[in-house]
Chains A and B, each alone.
Chain A
Amino acid sequence: MKLPIYFDYSATTPVDPRVAEKMVACLTLDGNFGNPASRSHLFGWKAEDAVETARKQVADLLSADPREIVWTSGATESDNLAIKGVARFYHKKGKHIVTSRIEHKAVLDTCRQLEREGFEVTYLDPDSEGLIHPEVVADAIREDTILVSLMHVNNEIGTITDIAAIGEITRAKGVIFHVDAAQSAGKVEIDLTKLKVDLMSFSAHKIYGPKGIGALYVRRKPRIRLEAIMHGGGHERGMRSGTLPTHQIVGMGEAFRLAKEELAADNAHMLSLRNRLWEGLKDMEEVHINGSFVQRVPANLNISFAFVEGESLLMSLKDLAVSSGSACTSASLEPSYVLRALGLSDELAHSSIRFSFGRFTTEDEIDHAIGQLKTAVSKLRELSPLWDMYKDGVDLSKVEWVHH
Chain B
Amino acid sequence: MAYSEEVLEHYENPRNVGKMDDNDSHVGTGMVGAPACGDVMRLQIKVSDDGIIEDAKFKTYGCGSAIASSSLVTEWVKGMTLEQASELKNTQIADQLALPPVKIHCSVLAEDAIKAAVEDYKKKQS
Contacts of A403 in B (CB 8 A): 33-34, 36-37
Instruction: Tell me whether A383 and B59 are in contact (CB under 8 A).
Output: yes
Q: B9-42, CB under 8 A of A: which get 1 and which 0?
A: 0010010010100000000000111111111111
- Give the tally of cross-chain contacts (CB within 8 A): 88
Interface window among A22-30, A87-95, A307-315: A307-315
Contacts of A396 in B (CB 8 A): 35
Instruction: Tell me whether A388 and B19 are in contact (CB under 8 A).
Output: yes
Instruction: Tell me whether A328 and B38 are in contact (CB under 8 A).
Output: yes
Contacts of A402 in B (CB 8 A): 31-34, 112, 116
Can you sample 28 A-B contacts with CB below 8 Å? A308-B61, A309-B61, A309-B62, A312-B63, A312-B67, A315-B3, A315-B63, A329-B1, A333-B37, A333-B38, A333-B105, A335-B38, A346-B34, A346-B36, A347-B61, A382-B17, A384-B61, A385-B60, A385-B61, A386-B40, A387-B61, A396-B35, A401-B33, A401-B35, A402-B32, A402-B112, A403-B37, A404-B34
Known: A383-B17, A388-B19. A309 touches B63 (CB 8 A): yes
Contacts of B31 in A (CB 8 A): 385, 402
Residues of chain A from 17 to 55 with CB closer than 8 A to chain B in the complex: none
> A residues bordering B, Cβ < 8 Å?
307-312, 315, 326, 328-329, 331, 333, 335, 345-347, 350, 382-388, 396, 401-404
Partner of A404, one of B3, B11, B60, B105: B105
- Taken together as a complex, chains A and B put the C-alpha atoms of A403 and B31 apart, in Å, by 10
Distance to closest chain A CB from B1 (angstroms): 6
Q: Is B108 an interface residue (CB 8 A)?
A: yes
Distance to closest chain A CB from B19 (angstroms): 6
Distance to closest chain B CB from A315 (angstroms): 5
Known: A311-B64, A315-B3. A404 touches B59 (CB 8 A): no
Instruction: Tell me whether B41 and A385 are in contact (CB under 8 A).
Output: yes
- Taken together as a complex, chains A and B put the C-alpha atoms of A116 and B62 apart, in Å, by 37
- Taken together as a complex, chains A and B put the C-alpha atoms of A328 and B105 apart, in Å, by 12
Instruction: Tell me whether B34 and A383 are in contact (CB under 8 A).
Output: no
Known: A312-B11, A329-B1, A347-B35. A401 touches B63 (CB 8 A): no
Partner of B33, one of A307, A331, A382, A404: A404
Contacts of A384 in B (CB 8 A): 59-61
Distance to closest chain B CB from A303 (angstroms): 17
- Taken together as a complex, chains A and B put the C-alpha atoms of A382 and B17 apart, in Å, by 8
Distance to closest chain B CB from A328 (angstroms): 6
Distance to closest chain B CB from A391 (angstroms): 11
- Taken together as a complex, chains A and B put the C-alpha atoms of A312 and B33 apart, in Å, by 16
Partner of A401, one of B34, B64, B66, B102: B34
B contact patch SS: mixed
Closest 6 A/B residue pairs (Cβ): A401-B34, A385-B42, A311-B63, A347-B35, A385-B59, A346-B36
> B residues bordering A, Cβ < 8 Å?
1, 3, 11, 14, 17, 19, 31-42, 59-64, 66-67, 102, 105, 108-109, 112, 116
Distance to closest chain B CB from A387 (angstroms): 8
- Taken together as a complex, chains A and B put the C-alpha atoms of A128 and B120 apart, in Å, by 40
Q: Which chain B residue lies CB-closest to A396?
A: B35
Instruction: Tell me whether A328 and B34 are in contact (CB under 8 A).
Output: no
Contacts of A401 in B (CB 8 A): 33-36, 40
Instruction: Tell me whether A383 and B67 are in contact (CB under 8 A).
Output: yes
Contacts of B32 in A (CB 8 A): 402, 404
- Taken together as a complex, chains A and B put the C-alpha atoms of A264 and B83 apart, in Å, by 69
Contacts of B42 in A (CB 8 A): 385, 388
- Taken together as a complex, chains A and B put the C-alpha atoms of A151 and B109 apart, in Å, by 39
Q: Which chain B residue lies CB-closest to A308?
A: B61
Contacts of A345 in B (CB 8 A): 35
Instruction: Tell me whether B116 and A346 are in contact (CB under 8 A).
Output: no
Instruction: Tell me whether A385 and B40 are in contact (CB under 8 A).
Output: yes
Contacts of A385 in B (CB 8 A): 31, 40-42, 59-61
Known: A309-B63, A383-B17. A350 touches B35 (CB 8 A): yes
Distance to closest chain A CB from B126 (angstroms): 21
Contacts of B1 in A (CB 8 A): 329
- Taken together as a complex, chains A and B put the C-alpha atoms of A403 and B102 apart, in Å, by 17
Contacts of B112 in A (CB 8 A): 402, 404
Q: Which chain B residue lies CB-closest to A327?
A: B38
Distance to closest chain B CB from A112 (angstroms): 24
